[in-house]
Amino acid sequence: YPLHDYCTKEQWEILCRAVQETDHD
Give the residue with greater pLDDT, 3 vs 19: 19
Q: Taking the C-alpha atoms of 14, 17, 18 and 24 in order, what is their torsion angle to the nearest 10 degrees?
A: 160
Q: How confident is the model at residue 7 (pLDDT cuts 50, 70, 90)?
A: low
Counted domains in the chain: 1
Instruction: Quote the pTM value.
Output: 0.27
Percent of the chain with pLDDT over 70: 40
Residue 19: give the domain boundaries: 1-25
Does residue 21 register a pLDDT over 70? yes
Max CA separation in the chain (angstroms): 23
Residue 7 has a CB neighbour count (10 Å cut-off) of 13
Angstrom distance (rounded) from CA 3 to CA 17: 9
Give the residue with greater pLDDT, 18 vs 8: 18
Average pLDDT score over the chain:
67
